Each structure stands twice: as structure tokens, then as C-alpha cells.
Structure 1
Amino acid sequence: MANSNIGVLSCSGEECLGGTISRLATRKMLEELRKDQTVTLCLPLYLTGGEEERAFAKEYPVITVDGCSKCCARRATEKYSGKVSATVIVSHILGEDIALCKTVSSKYLTEEQYKMVDKVAAEICKHFDKIVSK
């Protein structure tokens, strides 16, 4: 985590497409779009008491990426570490019907769904750039 200064915490929702898209968009940030500038935090570990995850979120800016309006990632961060710097909600970007439809394994995503991942990742980048410019 030493070279990383902004955390991205995605939901772990396995039951809907929004959760899959949130995780893939977060991974795209980590591996391509803001490589060496971001760290991803693990929501299940965070929820079960991961001290390193929680400590990072207390000290550094965190962008949460939630698949739906339940905002589990944002609520967990605020509960255990404080206010988040930004929240991206996939269902607000793509619409509830799309985000809440049945989960599709990342092995079987369509080209259109990969474009959705890109759209969500672009939104995360906007928040990232705004945080960095402050």
C-alpha cells in the first residue's frame, strides 16, 4: 500500500449484475486506469474486522463503488472508518433494472456489459481526479 494513496472499495454483491460491474470497474482502476495510485480494499475483510483495511480508510481518501442503492460499501466505510471521499452507485449510472438483473459471471459478460464496466470506471476516475486535484 505504500505507493497508493486512494482506496477504492467495491461492493461484494454477488446476486446482481451491479455488483459484478462494481468489482470489475474497481479492478480496472487498480490494474489499468490509475495503476500504482490506487489500492483496492476488500469489503468482506473490512466487515470482519480487517484492521489494515480500516486503518487505511481512516487515513487516506476512499471511493466506494456500490452495485445498488443499498450502498453497503459506503455504509461500512462510514461505520468503521469515517466519511468517504466519494461514492459511485452503479444503479444510478446504468439504471436499477440493469444493475439489479441476475448476476452474470465475468466469464460470460457481453460486449455491452464490458462497456458498462468502462462507463462505471470512467465515473470512478472523475472522482479520483477530483480528489487528487484538491
Structure 2
Amino acid sequence: MSEKVKVVPCSGIGKVHGLLARELALKVANELCAEITETPCLAYIVTEDPEIKEKIANGKCVTIDGCPKMCAAKSVAHAGGTVAEELKILDILKYYRGIQPGDATALNDDGWKIVDETAIKVAERVQQVYEGEV
């Protein structure tokens, strides 16, 4: 059995983009790909917690960033992890122009629709990463 894929969202506190990233990661990791994924805490990655750093270094990661700063992807790479797939909420939202997904504290129905639809696509990519196709 392959090492679990790490799904790492940005923290993005205070912005709806960060909330979308977190909810998307949780939907993929806890529901759609629960057997093959785990979600390490970004704060532990940033602070280079030895246990998390070892997990990151020994597997492939899918990062989901809410803004152009790409904190999740940069932090995983800095910790020695392999970013197999780098997702950006801003790129995802291009397919949903004009839709307001909610605010920093709560998604509305449109926001949950974005999470649900995108999670299916992300789950397919995670499966490919897990199977070594990416």
C-alpha cells in the first residue's frame, strides 16, 4: 500500500478563499478519499514539527491555497515535501464568476456547491497521485 497523500489547505483566516480551501480539503480527506489521505496541520508544517516534517518528507502532497501567496505549497516545499498537485482557489473561482460563496466565517449555498463540485475533481487527482500517476 502506498503512503497516504497529504492534503494541505492554507489557513486563510479572515477570507472566504481560505474557508473554501479548508472545506474543500476536509471534504476530500474526510469523505471522498478518507482511506488514502490525511490532512496535516499547516501550523505544524510551518513550525517544522519533527513528526509532521517526517510525514511530509515521506509522501506526496496536494496543496490548496486561497490566495496568490501560496503559503501551503511554499510551506510544504520548504519542509521537504513533494507537492504533487498545487491547487489555487482563485483558479477554481474562475469557473464560478459572479458567484459570492459566503464570507470568512460561513459558506452559503453557492459556496457549498463550489466545494462539492470541486471536491469530486480534486478527489480524482488525489487518487491519481496515490496511484503514482502524477
Residues 1:105 and 1:4: Cα distance change in structure 2 (over 3 Å) = farther
Give distance in 2, aligned partners of 1:120 and 1:68: 17
Give distance in 2, aligned partners of 1:73 and 1:26: 12
Structure 1: which amino acid aligns with 2:92? I
Q: Give, in angstroms, the shift of residue 16 of structure 1.
A: 1.4
Give distance in 1, aligned partners of 2:30 and 2:98: 25
- Aligned alpha-carbon RMSD (Å): 2.6
Report % sequence identity: 24
Partner of 1:50: 49
Instruction: Indicate the SS of the match to 1:81.
Output: coil
Question: Would the aligned equivalents of 1:8 and 1:38 in 2 still touch at CA under 8 Å?
Answer: yes
Partner of 1:69: 68
Give distance in 2, aligned partners of 1:74 and 1:122: 21
Q: Give, in angstroms, the shift of residue 21 of structure 1.
A: 0.6
Segments of structure 2 that go 5 or more residues without pairing to the other structure are none
TM-score, length-scaled by structure 2: 0.84
Residues 1:44 and 1:126: Cα distance change in structure 2 (over 3 Å) = same
Higher helix share: 1
Give distance in 2, aligned partners of 1:102 and 1:111: 8
Segments of structure 1 that go 5 or more residues without pairing to the other structure are none
TM-score, length-scaled by structure 1: 0.84
Residues 1:103 and 1:14: Cα distance change in structure 2 (over 3 Å) = farther
Question: Would the aligned equivalents of 1:29 and 1:35 in 2 still touch at CA under 8 Å?
Answer: yes
